[in-house]
């Protein structure tokens, strides 16, 4: 019989607190200038500088471009920003990040375990929200989307998929992607990402 863990839940940290510092550390660890990162990500030097100085709140699209340039998943970048490691991530300590531009909400489910190849993230997309990611964000990984609630219109390159609760889509070769909620209620889905070796 398994006994419940008596450890009290710890409030989930706000991953945006350390994000500015983490972005700068990732860039400097690679020996890149602001111009190098701008060229690799398609994000302007001015915007990168503002985000690194915590003068601007980055959107999901901007973070997707930057994490792709670093060869990291967005989830890994956010997890590194919070600095938590270990095999177990309790529900109460799973960090939640909200895109200031769209209200897109992502909860990082997976523990940060070094180079573990699998990453699970729960996403809630508000009514009318649309998030676009460039193909470069998917160049080093394989991804599946499993719908939990609502309806998601997902564009993968030229293909459009309308996904409902229970549907599961495996993404193909890297392509520009758009996640859109064109329904009348929020949609919620799980994103499973596996790094390619």
pLDDT tens-place string over residues 125-154: 999 999 998 887 777 788 999 999 999 999
Q: Which of 1-10, 103-112, 141-150 has the highest mean pLDDT?
A: 141-150
* Structural fold of domain 19-195: Jelly Rolls (2.60.120)
Q: What is the pLDDT of the chain when averaged over all its residues?
A: 85
Higher pLDDT, 10 or 96: 96
C-beta of residue 60 within 8 angstroms of C-beta of residue 93: no
Share of the chain above pLDDT 70, in %: 86
Residue found under tokens 């863990």: 5
| Sequence spans of domains, the chain | 19-195
Q: DSSP assignment of 42-89, as one string?
A: S--HHHHHHHHTTSSPPPHHHHHHHHHHHT--HHHHHHHHHT--SS--
Q: What kind and span of H or E run contains 23? A: helix 19-29
**pLDDT(48) > 60:** yes
Taking the alpha carbons at both ends of the chain, their separation in whole angstroms is 38
Average pLDDT over residues 100-124: 85
* pLDDT tens string 62-81: 888 898 888 887 777 877 77
Candidate from 68-72, 121-125, 175-179 with smallest mean pLDDT: 68-72
pLDDT in tens, 37-47: 999 999 999 99
- The model carries a pTM of 0.68
CB of 99 within 8 A of CB of 132? no
What whole-number distance in Å separates Cα of residue 146 and Cα of residue 111? Answer: 19
């Amino acid at each position: 019989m398994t006994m419940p863990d008596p450890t009290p839940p710890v409030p989930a940290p706000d991953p945006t607190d350390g994000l500015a510092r983490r972005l700068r550390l990732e860039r400097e660890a690679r020996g890149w200038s602001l111009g190098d990162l701008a060229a690799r990500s398609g994000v302007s030097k001015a915007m990168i500088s503002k985000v690194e100085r915590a003068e601007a709140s980055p959107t999901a699209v901007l973070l997707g471009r930057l994490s792709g340039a670093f060869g990291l998943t967005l989830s890994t970048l956010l997890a590194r920003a919070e600095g938590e490691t270990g095999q177990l991530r309790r529900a109460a300590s799973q960090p939640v990040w909200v895109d200031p531009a769209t209200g897109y909400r992502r909860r990082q489910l997976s523990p940060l375990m070094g180079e573990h190849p699998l990453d699970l993230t729960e996403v809630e997309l508000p009514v009318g929200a649309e998030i676009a990611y460039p193909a470069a964000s998917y160049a080093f990984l394989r991804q599946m989307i499993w719908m939990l609630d609502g309806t998601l219109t997902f564009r993968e390159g030229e293909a459009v998929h309308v996904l409902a609760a229970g549907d599961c889509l495996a993404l193909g070769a890297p392509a520009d992607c758009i996640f859109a909620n064109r329904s009348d209620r929020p949609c919620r889905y799980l994103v499973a990402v596996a790094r390619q070796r």
